[in-house]
Structure 1
Amino acid sequence: MELLYMILISSVLTCVSLYYVFNNIHVAGGMKNVKLDLHPLPPGSTGWPIIGETLEYLSTGKKGVPENFVLDRINKYLSSAGNSCKVFKTSLLLQDMAVLCTAGGNKFLFSNEEKLVKSWWPAYLDKLIVGNSEKTLNITEESNRFRMILAPYLKPAGLQKYIGTMDSVTKKYLKYAFTLACKLMLDTEDPQLLGILQRLLKDLSSGFTALPIDLPGTTFNRAIRASRQLREEIEKIVVERRIKLSTASANSMVDKDGDHGDMLSSLLMETYSDGKQITESEIADKLYGVIVAGHDGLSSALTTIMMYLAELPQVYDTVFKEQMEIANSKAAEELLNWGDVQKMKYSWSVACEAMRLLPPSLGTFREATTDFVYEGHLIPKGMKLYWHPHSTHKNPECFPNPEKFDPSRFEGQGPPPFAFVPFGGGPRMCPGKEYARLKILVFMHNVVTKYKWDKVFPDEKFIWTPVLLPTKGLPIKLFPHNKSK
C-alpha cells in the first residue's frame, strides 16, 4: 500500500524539488549582512534534491553503525577545515543542517537554547506528538511552563517515595517500562486497560519510523489514529481522578508527608504561576508525552544492559556482588529505598557505559533563530542544527579506546563535560533523567539477584530504525540462582 502511494506522489516530488532548489537560491541571494557573509558555510554536501543524505543516514543506522555517518564526514572534511572538523553541513529530513561534532559543540547548543537556537522537529511528527491542548499555544512557552510544574516530580527528592513502588512492580511484571510508567504516572495496574494502552503505543511507535504518508491503510495513518486514541484513554483516567478528588475530603487527599499521594493526583492539585488551574486535557497531553518519550528509550537501554551483562561475565559478577550486598542487608520482603539505590555505583557505571556505546537516541535537532558564526562558519537564521551522541561517544579524544566496554570511565571525575549525552543537555535535557536512572537500577537489582542469562544468538547485533533495536529481539536463556545464595 505504501509503495503504491510513493509511486503516485513521485511526480509531485519532482515539482517540489524544483521549487526547493529555486527557493534555496532565492534565500541565499537575499542575505544582507555583509559582515556575516565574510564567513563561509560549514563544509559538506546537501546530497540529492529533497532527500539530501537522508537515505545514507538511515542506512548506517540499519547496519548498526550510525556513527559512520558522522565520523566519515569528519574525516572527509578535515583538510578543508584546517585538520579539525568541528561542524559540517548536510541535508536530512528535507532540511539543510549543520552537524556539530564535538563536546564543545554540544555545550554550545545546550547553552544557547532560546538565545541563538530553539528546539525543532520535522513538521510531520506534530501529528504524532502535539496534543489538542498544545496546538493553539506557543509550544516553547507552554512547554517551559509545564516543565516547571512537572520537574519536582521527576527529580530525586520527588522520586524517592516511588522507589518502593518501582521495586514492587518490577518483581511482578515483565513488560517493565510501560507498566511502571502507567503505575507511577496514571496510578493504574488494570490488566485490560494496560493491554489497550500497550497496543496503541505499539501502533504509535511504528509511526515514528514510517513514511509520513497520511492516507488510509498506511502505517503513519494508523499511528496518528493510535496517538489520538491513546490521548483519549489517558484523558479518561485524568477526568475520573479529578472527579474522585472533588468528592474526597480534604484530609483524605493528603498523605502523612503532606503530599497528594500519587503523581497524577498531585498534578491535578497544581496550578500555574498565574493561578490558572491545569486542565485535564493539558495534563493528559503532557503525561502522554512523558510515557511515549520514555517507552522506547528506556526499553532500549535495558535491553543493551542485558546484552552486555550476558557477554561480559566479569562485569556481571561485579554487578551481582554489589547487588547481593544490598539484597543481603534487607529483611525478607523489604523493598528497596533511596539509600539502597545510592549504593549501586558500579551498576550505574555499567548502565552508562552501555548507553555510551549504544545510546537509545540518535540525538535531536535545533533551529537557528538568528544568523551567527560557529567555529568560523556561518549558520544562517532558519538553518537546522543536529547533535549526534556518537560524535563524542565514539571519539577517542573523549573516550580512549572507544570501542572497549569499560565502566571505569564513569568513576571519579568521569568523562569530559558534554561528552556523554544520552539524555541531551541544557534546558532541553530529558526531564526524566533521574526517573530513568532509578528505573534502570531497580530493574538491574531485581534481575541480577535472581538470574544469570545467556544470549540465544551470540552474534546478534543492534540497529537503529532510528529506534535502537536488537535484530532478533535479544531472546535469552534464564538460569535462576540457587536459593541458598
Structure 2
Amino acid sequence: MKTMEFGWILWLVMVFMCSFCAVFVAVKWVLKNVNKWLHETQLGEKQYSLPPGDLGWPFLGNMPSFLRSFKSNHPESFISSYVSRFGRTGMYKAFMFGRPSVIVTTPEACRRVLTDDVCFKPGWPQSTVQLIGNKSFIGISYEEHKRLRRLTAASVNGYEALSTYAKYIEENVVSSLNKWTTMGEIEFLTQLRKLTFRIIVYIFLSSESEPVMDALERQYTTLNYGIRAMAINLPGFAYHKALKARKKLVATFQSVVDERRNQRKEFHVLPKKKDMMDALLDVADENGRKLSDEEIIDIMLMYLNAGHESSGHTAMWAAIFLEQRPEFLQKAKAEQEEIVKRRPPGQSGLTLKEIREMKYLSKVIDETLRVITFAPTVFREAKTDVNISGYTIPKGWKVLVWFRSVHLDPETYENPMEFNPSRWENYTPKAGTFLPFGAGSRLCPGNDLAKLEISIFLHHFLLHYQLERVNPGSPVMYLPHTRPIDNCLARLKKCPTSSA
C-alpha cells in the first residue's frame, strides 16, 4: 500500500514538473517574441527582408548580452554570437538602447550609412542626447550641423589655429612629463586626461585656472560614464549621476556665457584673442539671428567632452604598446631624434611642419586608434526605407555602425589584435576599413587637433622618458572606453641618456 502511495506521489511530482517546464518554455517563447510582434509584424512584407538576428527580451532587448560581453575580457563575443547563429551576413537586427536596430559590421555598409545624409540622420539614444544636449552636433539637423561646422572648423582644425595651439600644447606636455617623474606612482591615464582637458579648456575658453579645470574634469568623467550606461534615472546608477553632472556643467558654462556677455556690454569692444566661446557669441545667420545660450552651452559641452577623452586614452595606449614592443619603440624614437637633429640652430620647440614629417609616428597613432577603437559604435537612424546588400532597414529604425568589427576584421587586417604599426607601410586602407573618427559630413570635427596633441606628447615621451607599469597584467575594461582597470598605475622615469 505504501509503495502504491509513493508511486502516486512520484507520478504527481513528475506531472507537476512537466507542467512547470511546459509553462516555462511557453512563457520564455512568448517573451522572446514580444519585441518581434511589436516591431516586425507591423512592417508587413518588409519584415521578410530584414537582416537576420533577434530582438531579444521585452524592453531590455539585446542589452544584457551587450553589457555582459563588454564587461568580460572578450567584447567581440557580442558580434561573434550573431555570426555563429546567423552567419557572416554583415548586418543583424537587434533591439539596442530601447529601439529596434540594425547593426552593420562590414566596411561597405558602414561607409554607406555614414556618408548617405539623404537616407540617414543621427540616431543617438534619447538618453545620450539628454546628456550631451539637444542643441549639440548629435541633436541638431543636417542644415544646422553644416552651418555650425563651418563656423567652428577654422577655430579647431585650421592651419593657423593648429600652429598657435602647438606651442601651448608643447609647453604643457613638457612641464607635465617633468612633473610626473617627481610624483612616484601615478595613474598615467588620469594624469593624461587632466593634461588633455587643460589643453582643450584653454583652447575653447582661454581658461588656465587649475581649480576650475579640475572641477570640470571630474564632472565630465561622471558624464562620460553615463553616456553608454543603461538609462536608469535612479540614485546610484551611472545615468542618474551623469544627469546631475550635466546640470553642474550647464550652470558653470552659463556663468561663463553671462560673464562674456557682460564684458562685451561694459567695454563695447571685442577681445583681441578670440577663443571658441567668442566665435559662438559672434556668429549670426543671414537674418542676423545669433545663437541662444542653450545652443552655445550644448556645443561647448559636446566639444569639451569629445576633445580630451580620445586624446588621453590614445596617448596612454600608444605609450603602453610601444613599451611592450621595443622594436617599434626604437623605430619611433629614431624618427624623433632625426627631426631634432635636422632642426636649424636657434629653433626652440616643434613646428607644425616637423609634426607633419612624423610619418612613422603617424602610423603608430593610426595603429593605436585601430586596435583600441575608442568609440565602438555610432548611431544613425533611417529617414526612409533603405536597402543595403539585399536587406531592408525600415524607416525609423536605428543603425549601429560597429567600428570594432571593421577594425578587428582578420580579412582586412592580418592578426588584427596585434599592435603592429609597420602594417601601415606602403598600405592605403580601402574605403570604410579605417574609421577612427567616423566618415562623411559628420566626421569628428576635432580629429586634426587630437592627432596634434598625441603627436606632441609622444615626441617628448619617446625622446626623454620611459614608462614602468606597476601592474602590467592589469585587467582591461571596455566601457565606456578601453582602459586598464588600474588606469595604468605606473612610474614615469627619465631615460638615462636624456637631458630633459
TM-score range (shorter-chain normalised) is 0.7 to 0.9
AA partner of residue 56 (structure 2): G
1:241/1:159 CA distance change after superposition, 3 Å: farther
**In structure 1, C-alpha distance between the alignment counterparts of 2:71 and 2:39, rounded to whole Å:** 34
* Partner residue of 1:286 out of 287, 299, 304: 299
Return 410-419 or 103-112, whichever deviates more.
410-419
8 Å CA contact 2:173, 2:195 repeated in 1: yes
Superposed counterparts of 1:221-300, under 5 Å: 221-247=240-266, 253-254=271-272, 260-300=273-313
* Partner residue of 2:78 out of 58, 69, 77: 69
Residue 358 (structure 1) aligns with: 372
Name stretches of at least 5 consecutive residues in structure 1 with no aligned partner.
Answer: 1-16, 79-83, 255-259
Superposed counterparts of 1:380-459, under 5 Å: 380-459=394-473
1:26/1:52 CA distance change after superposition, 3 Å: closer
What secondary structure, in the 3-state scheme, does the structure 2 residue paired with 1:449 have? helix
AA partner of residue 410 (structure 1): W
* Partner residue of 1:86 out of 90, 104, 116: 90
1:211/1:376 CA distance change after superposition, 3 Å: closer
* Partner residue of 1:127 out of 122, 130, 134: 130
Residue 168 (structure 1) aligns with: 171
8 Å CA contact 1:61, 1:466 repeated in 2: no
Per-residue CA deviations over 1:185-216 (Å, capped at 9, x if unaligned) read: 11111112112212222332232344423234
**In structure 1, C-alpha distance between the alignment counterparts of 2:312 and 2:292, rounded to whole Å:** 30
**In structure 1, C-alpha distance between the alignment counterparts of 2:297 and 2:344, rounded to whole Å:** 38
1:444/1:62 CA distance change after superposition, 3 Å: same
1:484/1:307 CA distance change after superposition, 3 Å: closer
Q: CA deviation at 1:140?
A: 4.5
What secondary structure, in the 3-state scheme, does the structure 2 residue paired with 1:360 have? coil
1:425/1:443 CA distance change after superposition, 3 Å: same
8 Å CA contact 2:406, 2:434 repeated in 1: yes
1:280/1:335 CA distance change after superposition, 3 Å: farther
Q: CA deviation at 1:373?
A: 1.7
**In structure 1, C-alpha distance between the alignment counterparts of 2:267 and 2:353, rounded to whole Å:** 34
**In structure 2, C-alpha distance between the alignment counterparts of 1:206 and 1:330, rounded to whole Å:** 46
Name stretches of at least 5 consecutive residues in structure 2 with no aligned partner.
Answer: 1-28, 177-190
Superposed counterparts of 1:75-224, under 5 Å: 75-78=84-87, 84-113=88-117, 115-130=118-133, 139-157=141-159, 158-173=161-176, 174=191, 175-216=194-235, 218-224=237-243
Superposed counterparts of 1:288-327, under 5 Å: 288-327=301-340
Per-residue CA deviations over 1:85-132 (Å, capped at 9, x if unaligned) read: 12122222222221112110111111212x11111112222331115x
8 Å CA contact 1:120, 1:365 repeated in 2: yes
1:88/1:218 CA distance change after superposition, 3 Å: closer
1:219/1:60 CA distance change after superposition, 3 Å: closer
What secondary structure, in the 3-state scheme, does the structure 1 residue paired with 2:102 have? strand
**In structure 2, C-alpha distance between the alignment counterparts of 1:412 and 1:89, rounded to whole Å:** 37
Q: CA deviation at 1:341?
A: 1.0
**In structure 2, C-alpha distance between the alignment counterparts of 1:452 and 1:134, rounded to whole Å:** 39
8 Å CA contact 1:120, 1:367 repeated in 2: yes
AA partner of residue 59 (structure 1): R
8 Å CA contact 1:298, 1:360 repeated in 2: no
8 Å CA contact 2:34, 2:58 repeated in 1: no
AA partner of residue 129 (structure 2): D
**In structure 2, C-alpha distance between the alignment counterparts of 1:321 and 1:373, rounded to whole Å:** 50
Q: CA deviation at 1:270?
A: 2.7
8 Å CA contact 1:58, 1:466 repeated in 2: no
What secondary structure, in the 3-state scheme, does the structure 1 residue paired with 2:233 have? coil
Per-residue CA deviations over 1:20-76 (Å, capped at 9, x if unaligned) read: 9668536544446x6x56x52111122222222212212222223222322342343
**In structure 2, C-alpha distance between the alignment counterparts of 1:70 and 1:435, rounded to whole Å:** 32
What secondary structure, in the 3-state scheme, does the structure 1 residue paired with 2:53 have? coil
Q: CA deviation at 1:347?
A: 0.9
8 Å CA contact 1:164, 1:336 repeated in 2: yes
AA partner of residue 460 (structure 1): S
Per-residue CA deviations over 1:210-244 (Å, capped at 9, x if unaligned) read: 44232345443332121111122123223323433
Q: How many residues align?
A: 452
**In structure 2, C-alpha distance between the alignment counterparts of 1:234 and 1:446, rounded to whole Å:** 33
Residue 4 (structure 1) aligns with: none
Residue 462 (structure 1) aligns with: 476
1:349/1:220 CA distance change after superposition, 3 Å: same
8 Å CA contact 1:20, 1:50 repeated in 2: no
Q: CA deviation at 1:353?
A: 0.6
Name the larger-Rg structure.
2
Between the aligned residues of both structures, percent identity stands at 26
8 Å CA contact 1:394, 1:403 repeated in 2: yes
